[in-house]
Structure 1
Amino acid sequence: MGKTFIKIATVYFSIGVLVGMTMGMIHDFRFTSLHAHVNLLGWVSTALFGVIYSIYPFAANTKLAKTHFWLHNIGLPIMMIGLAGEVLGISAGLPVMIVGSLAVVIGTLLFAINTFKTLSTNSNQITKTNINA
């Protein structure tokens, strides 16, 4: 699970960099909010999820983690499509953005629940091997 989150994070990072570069090249910065959200929720947050799940693999092997993964990685692209629609003045943009945002928020809450639940009940399972993996 950790490796998968990290791999997907690099895809989001590439998209964020390309959006930023494109905005700079054409001097049109309407998509700045999309660029920021892809970089923060896509690259940074997703990479951190991956690092945390790599350090604590028992947290990654839960139904909460798998549900979090799918909600985040389905919700974020939907949210970004809706945000792009909003920027372009497409009336369906806001409802699409809300649906995607709700999926991301629910996934993030599941991550928080999973983290607190598994790290408090499995604190004795943390070994030097897990940290060095």
Structure 2
Amino acid sequence: MAAKFLKIAVVYFVTGVLLGLTMGITQNFSFTSVHAHINLLGWVSLALIGVIYYCYPQAGTTSLAKAHFWLHNLGLPIMQGALFIMLLTGNHSMAGVTIAGSLMLVIGVILFLINIFKNVSDVKDVPFIKNNAM
């Protein structure tokens, strides 16, 4: 799962950068919260999770990791897409969709927490650290 998390993180990175570029060119910064969430919850968080799963492969191969991946990567685009539409149109009828996406993401993050507590015990479990004295 480490590679999947890292690859999707890069997709969010490019998306966030392109949205930021568009806002800068148009001088319309009304989508700043969408831009920030895509960068933080997409690029930064998923890249860190990918690195964690690389360091602790026993955690990255669980059904919890797979469920987290799908909940996070369905919830975030739903949440941010609905928020984007609300900001674009000024119509708040998409608030329920934004909340549904947010809940999916939160449940995924809770599964990540459970997975880490169940499957990560010590820094000595990291494969590339085992061979070096620490």
TM-score by length of 2: 0.90
Q: Does 1:62 align with 2:62?
A: yes
Q: Is the 8 A contact 1:58 1:118 kept in 2?
A: yes
Q: Is the 8 A contact 2:77 2:101 kept in 1?
A: yes
Residues 24 and 51 of structure 1, relative CA distance in 2, 3 Å threshold: same
Shift of 1:79: 0.5
Shift of 1:129: 7.0
Q: Is the 8 A contact 1:79 1:101 kept in 2?
A: yes
The residue that corresponds to 2:74 in the other structure is 74
Q: Is the 8 A contact 1:75 1:102 kept in 2?
A: yes
The residue that corresponds to 2:101 in the other structure is 100
Q: 2:12 is aligned with what amino acid?
A: Y
Alignment of 1:1-133 (within 5 A): 1-88=1-88, 89-120=90-121, 125-128=125-128
Q: Extract unaligned runs of 5+ from structure 2.
A: none
- 2 CA distance for matches of 1:51 and 1:7? 11
- 1 CA distance for matches of 2:130 and 2:77? 32
Q: Extract unaligned runs of 5+ from structure 1.
A: none
Q: Is the 8 A contact 1:81 1:96 kept in 2?
A: no
Q: Among the aligned pairs, what percent are the same residue?
A: 55
RMSD across aligned C-alpha pairs, in angstroms? 2.0
Q: Which runs of 4+ in 1 moved over 4 A?
A: 122-125, 129-132
Q: Is the 8 A contact 1:31 1:84 kept in 2?
A: yes
How many matched pairs?
Answer: 131
Q: 1:109 is aligned with what amino acid?
A: I
